[in-house]
Amino acid sequence: MSGARRSAAELAGPELAGPEAVVPQADVPEPEGPALDGPAGMAALDVPAAVRAKAVAAGAAQWLAGLPALVAGLERDWAITVGRSYPDATEALVSQATLADGTPAVLKLLVPRPADAARHEITVLQLAGGRGCVSLLRADTGRSALLLERLGPSMRDLHLPLGRRQEELCAAAARVWRPAPGCGLPTGAQAGRRLAASITRLWEELGRPCSERAVTYALACAERRVAAYDEERAVLVHGDVHQWNALRSPGGFALVDPDGGLAEPEYDLGILMREDPEELLRGDPHERSRGLARRCGLDETAIWEWGVVTRVETGLVGTQVGLQPVAGQMLAVADRVAP
């Protein structure tokens, strides 16, 4: 979502995107913009321009002005030292941190926004317990603050081939899936309704950038997934499984920036159908859904339909924010697969 090319998903709404990605844990580049002065003994806060803009747009200018005091309080309360900020974050201030014993970590401060984004992310990471997701070391929902283990580079930066990416992403997502009744996360039915409403609104607002046939098909798929929601089969899902949200870890890859939900596991694999649209345009799109279904032992129709829904919604969001060519490619796939 800034710096390097980011997926349209990362600019989507809370049911899709994880724009505040915990970026690869390499050396952090020198900041280009102005820094906020921190308290004595603390490095100046290098707040990325995208995070500043997001805070202002969200009516959180007061949060932005209070960041130095917020970080200082967390340094004191959690016995950490905060270092440089990662420049590619867009919806959170993400900074290097060091624990009192010298252990490297990452401090993530989400821009305040409605929809309980911080609570949802914290809930997912607490329930996952480091299995499939980054480990959560400390959290404060009231301050929208997370202290996370520091991981390696993203799957995107490692330039893995598509087949290997899908293998690793499926494995990471499967480690997250588990029953979590009563956890308070949005259900798959709620996600389907939100996505359908977003598609309907954005298609009109943007001057109908894809065919009516594609939109009608996406809405029909969303309606079927809402109707198919089954509490007994619902599991904890990450909600935004893609290569920018997978960082190298000692056990392979760990997912970051979960949206979180209680849904059929096919929801997560629908995100993999949405991503890499160029490859889908080169062959039979159903080959991917069949392969994912075989790999995970899940229902191909559900994977396919979640892919249809999230592809159209994300393509429209990408069009809205000018994220091309990927948004156009997603909508081109949507036109191609619509009956």
Which domain CATH number covers 213? Answer: 3.90.1200.10
> Does residue 6 lie in a domain region?
no
Spatial separation of the C-alpha atoms in residues 55 and 38, rounded to whole Å: 18
pLDDT in tens, 227-282: 999 999 999 999 999 999 999 999 899 999 999 999 999 999 999 999 999 898 88
Indicate whether 205 pLDDT > 90.
yes
pLDDT in tens, 100-145: 999 999 999 999 877 688 999 999 999 999 999 999 999 999 999 9
- One domain for residues 140 and 166: no
> Does residue 8 lie in a domain region?
no
Mean pLDDT of 18-24: 38
Q: What is the sign of the dihedral through the CA atoms of 194, 329, 169 and 249?
A: negative
| Whole-Å CA distances, 152 to 29, 61, 162, 255 | 16, 32, 19, 11
Q: How many domains does the chain have?
A: 2
Per-residue pLDDT band at 36 (split at 50, 70, 90): low
Per-residue pLDDT band at 44 (split at 50, 70, 90): low
Indicate whether 330 pLDDT > 80.
yes
CB atoms within 10 A of CB 164: 11
- One domain for residues 166 and 119: no
Mean pLDDT of 177-184: 96
Q: What is the sign of the dihedral through the CA atoms of 217, 238, 251 and 147?
A: positive
- One domain for residues 139 and 206: no
- One domain for residues 175 and 213: yes
- One domain for residues 66 and 190: no
- One domain for residues 306 and 273: yes
Lowest mean pLDDT among 168-172, 178-182, 279-283, 328-332: 279-283
Indicate whether 25 pLDDT > 50.
no
Indicate whether 17 pLDDT > 70.
no
Per-residue pLDDT band at 24 (split at 50, 70, 90): very low
pLDDT in tens, 293-309: 999 999 999 999 999 99
pTM for the whole thing?
0.85
DSSP 27: P
The answer to whether 121 touches 257, Cβ cutoff 8 Å, is yes
- One domain for residues 236 and 207: yes
Scanning the structure block, which residue is given the tokens 């990605």?
21
Return phi, psi of residue 210, to 5°: -135, 175
- One domain for residues 162 and 279: yes
Residue 258 sits at the vertex; the CA angle it makes with 255 and 259, to the nearest 5 degrees, is: 155
> Does residue 307 lie in a domain region?
yes
DSSP 8: G
Mean pLDDT of 156-183: 96
Where does a domain end: 126, 153, 180? 153
Return the structure tokens found at 338. 């619509």
> Does residue 51 lie in a domain region?
yes
Looking at the chain, how many residues does it have?
339
What stretches of the chain show up as alpha helix (H) in DSSP? 49-57, 61-65, 67-78, 117-128, 155-158, 162-176, 188-205, 212-227, 266-274, 277-282, 285-296, 300-321, 326-337
| Whole-Å CA distances, 308 to 219, 301, 319 | 9, 10, 17
Average confidence score pLDDT of the chain: 88
> Does residue 316 lie in a domain region?
yes
Spatial separation of the C-alpha atoms in residues 275 and 8, rounded to whole Å: 9
| Whole-Å CA distances, 99 to 85, 197, 269 | 16, 44, 35
Q: Can you give the CATH number for the domain in which 80 is found?
A: 3.30.200.20
Mean pLDDT of 86-97: 89
pLDDT in tens, 54-88: 888 888 999 999 999 999 999 999 999 999 998 88
> Does residue 230 lie in a domain region?
yes
- One domain for residues 127 and 174: no
Predicted pLDDT of residue 37: 52
Per-residue pLDDT band at 89 (split at 50, 70, 90): confident
Predicted pLDDT of residue 262: 98
Residue-number span of the structural domain to which 169 is assigned: 156-337
- One domain for residues 227 and 85: no
- One domain for residues 193 and 135: no
- One domain for residues 193 and 330: yes
Mean pLDDT of 208-225: 98
Share of the chain above pLDDT 70, in %: 86
| Whole-Å CA distances, 323 to 50, 51, 201, 245, 280 | 14, 17, 18, 18, 19
> Does residue 50 lie in a domain region?
yes
Indicate whether 29 pLDDT > 60.
no
DSSP 84: E
Where does a domain end: 153, 178, 202? 153
The answer to whether 111 touches 92, Cβ cutoff 8 Å, is yes
> Does residue 77 lie in a domain region?
yes
Return the structure tokens found at 63. 């949060």
